[in-house]
Amino acid sequence: MNDLPQADLRYLPQWISAETADQWLEELLVQTPWSQPELKLYGRRFAMPRLVAWYGDPGARLRYSGLIHDPLSWTPLLAEIRQQVQREVDRDMNGVLLNLYRNGQDAIGWHSDDEPELGSEPLVVSLNLGATRRFDFRRKGASRIQHSIALEHGSLLVMGGPTQHYWQHQIARTRKVTEPRLNLTYRQITCEPAV
């Protein structure tokens, strides 16, 4: 699956069984110490419209939206999932960002995962658990959606190569979704984030 020029995308529906996806979702919803950081945008502060947690190797600090996250220690489950993800993509991953979209009102706006500490061609591997949500792409500088993928329970989306240089993505708000969605994005932090 690679419908976008200047992008390297791979979508794997049913990457894990529904039973495994259900078990992982249940365990992660209960055991994760969720936070809801405040963002500062155009001089205003507001609560991020989703809950997050960052896990990783010691020193794998994540920076985005003006925030710097120090990693929580790997749980046995997140370390097990990391091993499976690394086998799938044949690359090391030293951190995972968990995003909990509690319902369709939780969202993430247009962005690219292009922070310098992710390297020159970031590889972002996204495991999706829970409610199906639409994942939109648009070319940087464009205003209209050019491609969408319905990210299903137990699916894996791999974004690599030049994808983050040329494309932005989002999960838009929707009234149609009332159940939670948990997204685990595995990454490789290659250097210390600038403060």
For 130, left (φ over 0), alpha (ψ -120 to 50), or beta?
left
Residue 1: predicted pLDDT: 54
Which pLDDT score is estimated for 27? 98
155-160 and 8-12 strand pairing: antiparallel
What pLDDT, on a 0 to 100 scale, did the predictor assign at position 66?
75
CA dist 83 → 78, 123, 188 (Å): 9, 15, 13
Give residue 43's pLDDT: 79
Residue-level pLDDT at 2: 60
Is the entire prediction scored with pTM above 0.85? yes
Q: Which residues of the chain have pLDDT under 70?
A: 1-2, 192-195
CATH class belonging to 8-187: mainly beta
How many C-alpha atoms does 195 have within 13 Å on its Cβ side? 3
